[in-house]
Amino acid sequence: MRSMNRSIRCLSLTTPLLLALLVTACEKTGEAPKGEGSAAATASTPPPATAAASAPAAAPTASAAADENIAPPTPVVSGDPDVPVNEGIVGTQPVPADYSADTPPPAPVVEDKPPPPSPSQIWVPGYWWWSRTTKHYAWVSGGWRNPPADQVWSPGAWTANAGHYYWRPGFWGAKGYVPAPPAEMAPPPPRVEVQPPSPGAGYVWGHGFYAWKNNAYEWTPGSWSRPPHEGLTWVAPTYVSTGGHYYFQPGRWDHPIADRGVAYRPDANVRPGAHFKPVALPPAIVAEHESFVTRAQDAVVRGATRLPTGGFVLHHEPAHAEPPHPEPGHPGSVPPPPPRRP
């Protein structure tokens, strides 16, 4: 009997120790102990503060995309950032809807052309540009141009209307190309197309565009095409906004800006009829103007707003892809079928 009492006392002393050891072992293995500890294991435990800080932020939605600011390029005429580089080389920069000249352009200057860099290059003539800052014309110098494949340059000109003079931009076009009359309203925002698979190596995707036909815009779907030879880039068709009109510029295969030729600095002080000796612009400045013109043209078509600095700001909106509408010869395109591209 005395031995039994001793065993009971020993068991009562060791039981708490065994329970404590059991709980400790369960905490280390991440398992809830049976019995009383299981209720605590079902309660939610907040993550450590460091876990919330290291979690990746949610990707911004299309509606939250930041506005795109297009800064104006380095001015090529002191005191007038709006005077452009020759549009036959870098393209035509958009101007405000109210852009017009108060007086007719004077007689052109006589350009003393420098020797051509290569026999294949042609001279793109200069022209007058109305300066809204100084209220007089500045001469935009001509330049040597490595012409695009199978393209002809049609120079721009000033046209009179109700006592004001408006600039009709020049353009590159295939031989015999006749431009459509300018549109009186901006084209709709371009569609987001479902791009079909490339038909083979060397093909380039040309995005669709709106064509102005019968006083209305009609969508022309994108298509795959190959350059006439290596080294050319596709210049997408676009609209140039001048004086409240939208002039269509057809797409073309062209040389990269570094291989287009030599552009020369405009002059705001040369007199009409005087001899003018062009001064070449640094290639980096020419490339900067070509990049600005390309981005600005695209932004204006998509509804960009012109800034007082001469740049543009584009407010991004969520884009929704158009469902594909296959047609013979144009998989994934949207009717009507496109005209033949160069």
The model's confidence at residue 317, banded by pLDDT at 50, 70 and 90, is low
CA distances from 129 to 135, 221, 316, 339 (A): 10, 35, 32, 34
Task: Provide the residue ranges of all domains of the chain, joining segments of one domain with +.
Answer: 62-314
Q: Judge whether 184 and 257 are in contact, CB under 8 Å.
A: no
Whole-number Cα distances in Å, 276 to 59, 107, 141, 210: 56, 13, 9, 41
What is the rounded average pLDDT for all residues in the chain? Answer: 79
Q: How far is CA 134 from the centre of its chain?
A: 31
Which residues fall within 8 angstroms of residue 298, CB to CB, at 6 or more apart? 236, 238
Tens digits of residue pLDDT in 213-226: 989 999 999 999 99
Q: Could you tell me which residues are beta bridge partners of residue 206?
A: 223
Q: What is the pTM assigned to this prediction? A: 0.73
Whether the bond into 336 is cis, omega within 30 of 0: yes
Copy the structure tokens of residue 274. 């005087």
C-alpha angle 29-35-41 in degrees, rounded to nearest 5 = 50
pLDDT of residue 333: 35
Note the pLDDT tens digit of each residue in 133-171.
889 999 999 999 999 989 999 999 999 988 899 999 999
Tell me whether strands 305-306 and 157-161 are parallel, antiparallel or unpaired: unpaired
SS3 64: helix
